[in-house]
Every structure is written in C-alpha cells, then in structure tokens.
C-alpha cells in the first residue's frame, strides 16, 4: 500500500549546493546537501561550520533581486528574517544563486549555487552533509 499525502504536503527533498568564496585563488568551496526546507538562518550555521568560521561577525544573504535576509536585529536596513525564509522558497530551482556575506569588515563573499534539487534519500531530509570542497 502506498502512503497518501495530504493536499499541500511537500515531498521531502534536498538541495545540493556549491558554496564558493568569491575571488580566492586557489578556489575555496564546499559542496553541501541540505534539506530543502532548511531556513537561511540554519544554512548560515551550516556554512559557519563547514568553512571553519566562528560566528563572531554579522552576516547577510542577498538574492538576485536584491532581497536581503539576516537576523533582523543585526541590520538597520529593511531585511527579511532569515529564520522565516526556507531555502526552497528563496532558491527553488537548479541554477538559482544568491550571495552570503560574512564579516562586514572583511566582506567574505560566498556565492551559493543550487546544483540540484532531488528527492531526499534515507536520512537526508533531517541533516546537512558536506560532500566535497
């Protein structure tokens, strides 16, 4: 028997992302597989761990249309709350991109590119995984 999904219920999926520091030679990047419903706030935590950052500085995400996502208390400019923004809503398709800036003094610019969106394998919809870099 096949389980039925209620209307509007999403099938568990994952995003495969390439997160690359812009302008670095040699290139510095990480390939991540994360649940598609991860918030940008949680993605920030994943990026911090995988790049060895220590979470000591401000950060923000910016999409291609100029929308900014951050902890609202951290920025004066109008921003969307990163804890209320799901990755699948901001970057729904393969090829979509956005930027993540960490440390507004040193401006570590990370380009986030969606390499694939696919159904989650066993256990993939519950955690993040760094698969390369």
Q: Which residue range forms the structural domain that includes residue 112?
A: 14-118
Is 5 among the domain residues?
no
Is 64 among the domain residues?
yes
Domains in the chain: how many in total? 1
User: What sections of 4-133 are H helices per DSSP?
Assistant: 40-51, 87-90
In the chain, which stretches have pLDDT less than 50? 1-9
Is 76 among the domain residues?
yes
Note the pTM of the prediction, 2 decimals.
0.88
Smallest CA-to-CA distance from 96 within 11, 15, 13 is with: 15
Residue 50: how many other CB atoms lie within 10 Å? 17
Is 126 among the domain residues?
no
Asked if residues 59 and 80 have their Cβ atoms less than 8 Å apart, the reply is no
Q: What CATH number corresponds to the domain at position 42? A: 3.10.290.30
pLDDT at 11: 60
Is 123 among the domain residues?
no
Task: Write down the residue that tokens 């520091």 correspond to.
Answer: 21
Asked if residues 36 and 87 have their Cβ atoms less than 8 Å apart, the reply is yes
Asked if residues 126 and 35 have their Cβ atoms less than 8 Å apart, the reply is yes
Is 133 among the domain residues?
no
User: What sections of the chain are H helices per DSSP?
Assistant: 40-51, 87-90
Provide Rg for the chain, Cα atoms: 15
The model's pLDDT over 48-71, given as tens digits with 9 standing for 90+, comes to 999 999 888 999 999 999 899 999
Is 54 among the domain residues?
yes
Is 125 among the domain residues?
no
């Amino acid at each position: 028997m096949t389980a039925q999904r209620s209307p509007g219920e999403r099938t568990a999926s994952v995003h495969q992302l390439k997160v690359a520091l812009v302008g670095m030679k040699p290139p510095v990047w990480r390939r991540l597989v994360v649940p598609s419903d991860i918030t940008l706030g949680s993605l920030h935590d994943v990026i911090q761990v995988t790049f060895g950052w220590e979470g000591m500085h401000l950060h923000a995400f910016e999409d291609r249309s100029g929308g900014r996502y951050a902890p609202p208390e951290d920025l004066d400019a109008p921003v969307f709350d990163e804890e209320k923004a799901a990755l699948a809503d901001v970057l729904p398709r393969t090829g979509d991109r956005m930027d993540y800036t960490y440390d507004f003094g040193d401006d570590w610019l990370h380009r986030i590119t969606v390499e694939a969106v696919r159904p989650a394998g066993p256990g993939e919809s519950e955690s993040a995984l760094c698969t390369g870099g």
